[in-house]
Amino acid sequence: MDWKHSAWGRALACVGIVLIFLAAPAGLQAESMRVTLLGTGTPNPHPERFGPATLVEAGSQRLLFDAGRGVTIRLNQLGIPMREVTAVFITHFHSDHLVGLADLWLIGWLPPNYGRRQTPLRIWGPSGLGKITAGMEQAYATDIAIRVKDEALPRSAAKFDVNEYTEAGIIYEHDGVTVTSFEVNHGDLIKPAYGYRIDYAGRSVVISGDTRFDENLIDAAKGVDLLVHEVVAIPKALFAVNPAMKRVEAHHTTPEEVGTVMSEARPRLGVLTHYVLTSGPGIPPETKDQVLARVKTNYSGPVVAGHDLMAIEVGESVAVVGGEP
């Protein structure tokens, strides 16, 4: 019997379609947040790990934390137009956290469907952010003037709506979403430097920013649903070849220290990001699995090695829901 074209075959095929439909991933639940790692890398121009950027979707809002290299590409891969980024939050002023900002700002203003923003790009960050955005507006003034005349784009949308803060605390409240900044220790000379906590509908997410081991971060993250934490793993053999890498390591959190942070904070799920993994001649970088194993020497709770486009839903459960590596 030709089961494919028989009545039974057609019926089973229909059932199969229904089952596939029912098993398809559901959309974001009303009282959940979705966190997507848009970039888990560093200044290293790695083709699989773009610059630091994390998207938090809560209710109708899409909040972007840092804007590293390739952030617009990752948003486009998700089918999210740049105009739908509600607000941007910058942790500190190292270039790898900022180089994608001009791209997001200007591409989001262009006429194609990935753009069409009609208002200034709203952005929050520590004191000094306005100087950076003003510099960008000056750098691209010629491009902006041309496009206003040639493409009839609204000049008002080719601006930033800058919101600076000078101390830790609640910096953003809108439609049930609260963003709280907290200071982190990224090094004596790297100030200001902040992490962020996002609260919505009883759910909570903490993004570490770049930091050494820091009790302040632990306090902000205690009992949080999801803790997204940076990590450094530089082979010791590299220090003799490139002594500067020892100074780089000193500005970040080792896997064992990340494990200690998570064991004290006790998040429902921990995720690793911003992998500072460096290599040299004959000295290979550590793998994500090796880094994760080192974290687990000090932490027995749930923790995963993040990767670009990994998505985590934070609701009744906290689970990875998309973005295969």
Catalytic residue numbers, as ranges: 96
**Strand ranges across the sheet with 303-305:** 169-174, 177-183, 194-200, 203-207, 226-233, 269-277, 303-305
Instruction: Provide the 3-class DSSP secondary structure of residue 166.
Output: coil
Comparing CA positions, the residue from 162, 288, 264 lying closest to residue 215 is: 264
Task: List the alpha helices (DSSP H) in the chain.
Answer: 7-23, 71-77, 101-107, 129-139, 141-151, 215-221, 237-241, 244-249, 255-265, 288-295
> How many Cα atoms sit within 13 Å of 224 on the Cβ side?
29
Cα(41)–Cα(61) distance, integer angstroms? 25
Q: Which residues, at least 6 apart from 219, have a Cβ–Cβ distance to it below 8 Å?
A: 182
Q: Which residues, at least 6 apart from 14, have a Cβ–Cβ distance to it below 8 Å?
A: none
